[in-house]
C-alpha cells in the first residue's frame, strides 16, 4: 500500500496483514517524531479466550473497525520501525478518538499482561516526548 497521504504517528490506527491475520493496530508511542524512528503498537482481538486481558475493552462504535466487543492484547505489543510497519499496512483508519487513545495508553501501564520492558520503554518515550516540548 502506498502511504503518501497517511501518517504513522501516535494515535493512528490501521489494519496490518501479518501471519496472525488482519487485526486493528494503534500506535501508542514513538521514540521520536522522525520518519526513521521506532513506534510501539498494540492490537485488538475479538477472540473470546478464558485468559484474555480485560484491562481495556473496546465496544462497538468506539472505532469503525470494531464490530464486536474487543480487547487490547497488551501481551503482544509490537515495537518496529515506521518503514517496516509501512510495508504491511492494509487499511488506514486515521486517528482514534483522543479519549480512546488515552484509555489504551493507560491500560498499557496498568495491564498485568504488558511486559515490564514494554512498560519501561513506553514510559521512557512518553517522558522524552514531554521533555522535548519544554
In a domain, 32, yes or no: yes
Q: Please, which pLDDT band fits residue 11 given cuts at 50, 70 and 90?
A: very high
Task: Express each pLDDT in 30-63 by its tens digit.
Answer: 998 887 889 999 999 887 777 888 999 999 988 9
Q: Does residue 104 fall inside a structural domain?
A: yes
Q: Is residue 68 part of a domain?
A: yes
The better pLDDT of the pair 53, 28 is held by 28
The string of pLDDT tens digits covering residues 104-114 is: 999 999 999 99
Q: Is residue 6 part of a domain?
A: no
- Global model pTM greater than 0.85: yes
The tens digit of pLDDT for each residue in 58-103 reads 999 889 888 888 899 999 999 999 999 998 899 999 999 999 999 9
Per the structure, how many domains does the chain have? 1
Q: Is residue 16 part of a domain?
A: yes
pLDDT exceeds cutoff 60 at 3:
no
Residue 34 in domain: yes
Whether the predicted pLDDT of 5 surpasses 80: no
> Looking at residue 92, which CATH number applies to its domain?
2.30.30
Grid cell of 67 as nine digits = 464490530
Q: State the Cα–Cα distance between residues 3 and 71, nearest whole angstrom.
A: 27
Q: Average pLDDT for residues 127-133, to the nearest whole number?
A: 84
Give me the domain span that covers residue 76. Answer: 12-132
Distance separating alpha carbons of residues 106 and 6, to the nearest angstrom: 25
What is the C-alpha to C-alpha distance for residues 100 and 103, in angstroms, rounded to an integer? Answer: 5
Please indicate, yes or no, if residue 4 is contained in any of the structural domains. no
Of 99, 78, 29, residue with least CA distance to 8: 29
Q: What residues does 21 pair with on adjacent strands?
A: 18
Whether 40 and 62 have beta carbons less than 8 Å apart is answered as: no
Burial 86-100 (b: 16+ CB within 10 A, else e): beebeeebeebeeeb
Domain assignment of residue 100, yes or no: yes
Confidence label for 4 from pLDDT (cuts 50, 70 and 90): low
Amino acid at each position: 500500500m502506498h502511504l503518501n497521504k497517511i501518517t504513522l504517528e501516535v494515535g493512528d490506527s490501521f489494519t496490518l496483514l501479518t501471519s496472525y491475520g488482519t487485526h486493528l493496530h494503534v500506535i501508542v508511542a514513538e521514540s521520536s517524531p522522525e520518519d526513521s524512528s521506532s513506534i510501539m503498537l498494540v492490537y485488538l482481538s475479538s477472540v473470546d479466550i478464558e485468559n484474555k486481558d480485560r484491562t481495556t475493552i473496546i465496544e462497538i462504535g468506539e472505532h469503525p473497525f470494531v464490530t464486536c466487543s474487543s480487547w487490547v492484547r497488551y501481551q503482544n505489543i509490537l515495537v518496529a520501525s515506521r518503514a517496516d510497519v509501512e510495508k504491511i499496512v492494509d487499511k488506514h483508519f486515521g486517528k482514534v478518538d483522543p479519549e480512546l487513545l488515552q484509555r489504551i495508553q493507560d491500560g498499557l501501564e496498568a495491564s498485568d499482561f504488558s511486559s515490564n520492558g514494554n512498560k519501561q520503554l513506553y514510559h521512557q518515550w512518553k517522558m522524552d516526548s514531554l521533555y522535548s516540548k519544554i
